[in-house]
Each structure stands twice: as C-alpha cells, then as structure tokens.
C-alpha cells in the first residue's frame, strides 16, 4: 500500500510533505537514524538503492550517503543540528541532486504520535529555486513511500 502524501510548496525555496505512517514514532525515528535501516528504504525511485558511508547520529555528527540509480549517482551529506528521539530530526543537506550546482539546504523531520501511528512532517527549506523544490519533493515522495513499505504499512 502506498502512503497518502500531501505536498505543500510553502515558497519557491521550501516544500513540506506530510504522511501518516502506521508505526509508532519511536520506530519511525529508528528507521531514520540507524545506518543499517536507512539503506533499506532511502531511495527516491523504484530500482534505486542507498549506500550509507557515514552516519554519526548526534548533534554536530556527520552523515554521507549515496543514492544509486541506473543512470546516475547522487551523494548527499550534512550534519545533524537537532535530535529529539521519537520526535524530531533536523540536518543540513548538501548534494548535487539533479543539478550542476551543489545545494546547501536544511531538512526537518517532525514525528507526531497519532491514534493510528505517526504523522510524519518533512520540511525541506533553503532550496535553490522552484525547480529544485519540485525535484526534491518528488524524491522525498519516493523516500517516504519506501519508508512506509519498510516499516510495514
């Protein structure tokens, strides 16, 4: 089952995605913060895979991962700037996601327990422009769908 994902363009440089995941917030948080788990679901499209080369989950800790698709590889890296187990993950995001220029932006993942699981709200801010917002929104839809399948929705 594919999750229902709501996409809102808050500006030309900020996109927000929300989805209900049928798992407890602690489980969703662990899927985002465990290197052995991220590689199983963090892929923006069918046939893509993710290799995590570094994931130091602490404030100031660095992550580096590469999404491999048949035609292209995208490497993303950044640092964790806020962590609240079961509630919040915020990190800087730098990568060449379908762009000639390296982008430096910020991702915030908020987890809110609800009756049937967890409301995930992902906000990607400080993107380059509207085109970048659209491309990242499509990538995040794929990742959230992969997460939903991975944790058992």
pLDDT value at residue 153: 54
Residue 135 in tokens: 């491309």
Minimal CA–CA distance to 148: which of 11, 8, 22, 15? Answer: 22
Helix pair angle (25-33, 130-150), 10° resolution = 110
Q: CA-to-CA distance for 36 and 5, rounded, in angstroms? A: 25
Residue 121 in tokens: 């709200």
Please tell me the pTM assigned to this model: 0.93
pLDDT value at residue 56: 98
Report the 10 Å Cβ neighbour count for 6.
10
As a whole number, mean pLDDT of residues 109-116 equals 96
Q: How much of the chain, in percent, has pLDDT values that exceed 90?
A: 80
Higher pLDDT, 101 or 119: 119
Please say whether the dihedral angle defined by the alpha carbons of residues 81, 96, 139 and 9, taken in this order, is positive or negative: positive
pLDDT tens column, 33-84: 999 999 999 988 888 999 999 999 999 999 999 999 888 888 999 999 999 9
Minimal CA–CA distance to 23: which of 12, 14, 32? Answer: 32
């Amino acid at each position: 089952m594919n999750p229902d994902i709501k996409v809102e363009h808050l500006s030309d440089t900020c996109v927000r995605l929300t989805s209900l995941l049928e798992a407890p917030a602690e489980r969703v948080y662990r899927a985002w913060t465990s290197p052995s788990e991220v590689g199983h679901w963090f892929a923006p499209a069918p046939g893509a895979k993710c290799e995590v080369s570094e994931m130091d989950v602490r404030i100031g800790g660095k992550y580096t991962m590469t999404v491999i698709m048949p035609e292209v590889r995208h490497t993303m890296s950044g640092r964790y700037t806020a962590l609240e187990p079961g509630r919040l993950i915020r990190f800087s995001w730098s990568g060449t996601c379908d762009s000639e220029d390296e982008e430096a932006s910020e991702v915030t993942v908020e987890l809110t327990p609800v009756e049937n699981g967890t409301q995930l709200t992902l906000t990607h801010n400080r993107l380059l422009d509207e085109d970048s917002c659209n491309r990242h929104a499509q990538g995040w839809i794929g990742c959230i769908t992969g997460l939903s399948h991975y944790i058992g929705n």
